[in-house]
């Protein structure tokens, strides 16, 4: 789950972020809402929650039921305390 969120944030920083900056626009926040499949790996303190977007558009009986992950990210200056 952490990697999914970090990758989505990196995407906002990447090509789309560069295009926005080129025209003088700055993203101050990002809201994502996407279907995810969730699984658990490990147990106890080693438990890891795995979430990823469904691999196929068409669902089959073999796919895990999709839940939903909504993330709100806010911009802040690098090195400053989190807002």
Partner 1 sequence: MNPAGSSVPLEDFIQAVQSQLDNAQARMTLKAQNDRLALTFAIKDISLDLRAHVEMQQGDIRIRPAGANDGDASVFHLVFTAITKPMIDENAVQLSVEDDEDPSIDSLGDALDDDEKQRLERIGVRTVSKLRDMQRQGLERSVGRITSLSPEKLRGALARASRPMVDDVSSDPDGDGADALRSRLRVRGRNLLKDGLPARVTIAGQPVSVVRATDSELVLAPAPHQLAGQMSIEHDPRESAQVYFDAQPAVRPAPAAEAAAAAPSPEWTPSEVEWRDPAFTEAPADQGPLQ
- The residues of the shown chain that bind partner 1, judged by CB under 8 A, are 1-3, 5-6, 9-10, 12-13, 26, 29-30, 36, 38-45, 47-49, 51, 61-79, 82-83
35 is written with which tokens? 């279907």
Contact 60, 54 (CB under 8 A): no
CB of 36 to partner 1, least distance (A): 8
Q: How far is the CB of 47 from partner 1 (least distance, A)?
A: 4
Tokens 């926040």, located at residue: 29
Largest CA distance in the chain: 48
Q: Measure the CA angle with vertex 27, ends 25 and 29; round to 5°.
A: 160
């Amino acid at each position: 789950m952490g990697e999914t969120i970090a990758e989505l944030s990196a995407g906002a920083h990447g090509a789309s972020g560069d295009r926005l900056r080129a025209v003088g626009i700055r993203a101050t926040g990002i809201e994502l809402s996407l279907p995810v499949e969730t699984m658990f790996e490990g147990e106890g303190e080693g438990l890891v929650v795995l979430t990823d977007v469904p691999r196929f558009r068409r669902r089959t009986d073999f796919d895990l039921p999709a839940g939903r992950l909504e993330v709100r990210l806010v911009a802040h200056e690098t090195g400053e305390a989190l807002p």
